[in-house]
């Protein structure tokens, strides 16, 4: 470091080595004190006119913080869906494939209706819907649905869905709105409540009297609640469709409780694929009588019949809230879950910093005098925004304070900025 502007320093010659050493030490202390004073003065001048501060990567930046964020799955971030409406805007052909479920109304009459999920029915052989091609080769909507979800969720060599070790030819599917579940459905916070329907098993199973539009709630007040079994297998199992959990009899309304039968096992209703936002239900189980662990769905699986089975699923889910006790929510309960990576920036504003403004209204005249003389020795400004810039002085982001923050020589501030990725 060059020292050319600090003036001469007197040095007395001495033949005494001890005295000479003392003079050198005193001279060194004098120079060091002078350098420190000059640096402090420079810092003070810099703080008075500072318009930016560089972040210290060690003290001011905390990168790569990962936290799991959960939200209610449905409109308004609510965790339950008890009022449900079908979309009457769907064409007759679309309704043979699926039904859309909305909250807050039918979109045909309510512009603010929110799409929540779609429900559908699939059969591996194509039963339960009419061949739309006219070729009578069972190229039906239900066959297309079954194969579509099998291709999405099962391994290439696995053609059928298996529930508790038993293959099933027919399935019901709930496919939740992609924008709602974000990264995945939150295991452990998922419940479906089904009301018993008016179907009956027997020879009438395949006729038109059991279509979705004909079947109603049983009126007996019977229902089953179904939850995922993540409380038993926290990690779930891994399949071609990612993580998968069993859907079993149970409830999360008063804490997670799995309901066991007299045989000591839960009733298996289906599978939950949280990363796809999909629940696949075993139609064979839903078809059973309520006394046997089912809900009297009696899914129409005859040929040349438009079974409208997806409508049965809608009626069972949407009707459950009205018949359940006050301790049971009914309908659908679910939350989304996602991991958010964040970086925190700590903006430290010392008492002598940022007490003046570059706003043109702060000064007056051609020489830039302060508009108010009281600001000369006692400036009062308000911090409203923090800008984040790169080394090329390009603005990358702005952080707005919830309310203006008073700043003067007697006040310091610590502003924490969080950027989510």
| pLDDT tens figures, 244-280 | 999 999 999 988 888 888 778 899 999 999 999 999 9
Predicted confidence band of residue 5 (pLDDT cuts 50, 70, 90): very low
State the average pLDDT for the chain.
Answer: 87
Predicted confidence band of residue 137 (pLDDT cuts 50, 70, 90): low
- Report whether 88 contacts 68 (CB < 8 A): no
Cα gap 351→413, rounded to integer Å: 8
Residue 14 has what pLDDT?
52
Cα gap 237→61, rounded to integer Å: 38
Residue 134 has what pLDDT?
61
| DSSP notation for 137-171 | SS--HHHHHHHHHHHHHS-TT--SEEETTEEESEE
Residue 345 or residue 241, greater confidence: 345
Task: Report the b/e string of 100-119 with b at 16+ CB within 10 A.
Answer: bbbbbeebeeeeebbbbbbb
- On the question of pLDDT at 205 being above 90, the answer is no
The 3-state DSSP class for residue 305 equals: coil
Residue 57 burial class via C-beta count within 10 angstroms: exposed 0-12, middle 13-18, buried 19 and up: exposed
Residue 320 has what pLDDT?
95
Cα gap 406→245, rounded to integer Å: 54
Q: What is the DSSP letter of 74?
A: B
| DSSP notation for 247-285 | EEEEE-BTB-EE-B-TTSSBPEEEEEETTTTEEEEEHHH
The predicted-structure confidence for 146-173, as pLDDT tens digits, reads as follows: 999 999 999 999 999 999 999 999 999 9
């Amino acid at each position: 470091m060059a020292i050319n502007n600090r003036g001469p320093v007197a040095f007395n010659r001495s033949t005494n080595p001890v005295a000479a050493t003392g003079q050198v030490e005193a001279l060194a202390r004098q120079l060091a004190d002078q350098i420190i004073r000059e640096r402090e003065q420079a810092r003070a001048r810099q703080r008075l006119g500072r318009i930016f501060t560089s972040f210290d990567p060690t003290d001011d930046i905390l990168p790569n913080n990962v936290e799991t964020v959960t939200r209610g799955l449905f409109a308004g971030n609510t965790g339950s869906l008890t009022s449900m409406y079908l979309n009457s805007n769907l064409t007759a052909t679309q309704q043979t494939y699926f039904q859309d479920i909305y909250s807050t109304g039918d979109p045909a009459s309510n512009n603010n209706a929110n799409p929540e999920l779609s429900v559908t029915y699939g059969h591996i052989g194509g039963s339960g819907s009419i061949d739309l091609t006219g070729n009578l080769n069972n190229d039906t909507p239900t066959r297309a649905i079954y194969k579509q979800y099998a291709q999405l969720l099962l391994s290439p060599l696995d053609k059928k869905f298996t529930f508790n070790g038993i293959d099933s030819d027919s399935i019901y599917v709930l496919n939740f709105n992609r924008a709602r579940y974000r990264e995945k459905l939150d295991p452990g916070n998922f419940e479906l409540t089904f009301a018993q329907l008016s179907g009956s098993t027997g020879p009438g199973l395949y006729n038109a009297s059991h279509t979705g539009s004909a079947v109603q709630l049983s009126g007996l007040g019977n229902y089953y609640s179904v939850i995922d079994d993540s409380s038993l297998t926290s990690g779930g199992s891994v399949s071609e469709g990612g993580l998968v959990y069993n859907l079993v009899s149970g409830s999360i309304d008063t804490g997670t409780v799995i309901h066991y039968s007299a045989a000591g096992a839960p009733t298996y209703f289906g599978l939950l694929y949280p990363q796809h936002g999909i629940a696949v239900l075993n139609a064979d189980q839903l078809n059973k009588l309520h006394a046997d662990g089912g809900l009297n769905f009696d899914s129409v699986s005859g040929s040349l019949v438009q079974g409208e089975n997806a409508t049965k699923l809608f009626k069972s889910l949407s009707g459950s809230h009205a018949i359940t006790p006050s301790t049971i929510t009914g309908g659908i309960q679910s939350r989304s879950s996602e991991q958010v990576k964040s970086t925190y920036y700590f903006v430290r504003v010392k008492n002598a910093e940022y007490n003046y403004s570059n706003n043109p209204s702060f000064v007056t005249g051609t020489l830039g005098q302060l508009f108010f003389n009281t600001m000369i020795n006692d400036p009062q400004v308000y911090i409203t925004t923090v800008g984040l810039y790169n080394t090329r002085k390009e603005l990358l982001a702005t952080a707005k304070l919830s309310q203006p923050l008073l700043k003067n020589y007697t006040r310091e501030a610590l502003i924490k900025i969080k950027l989510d990725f």
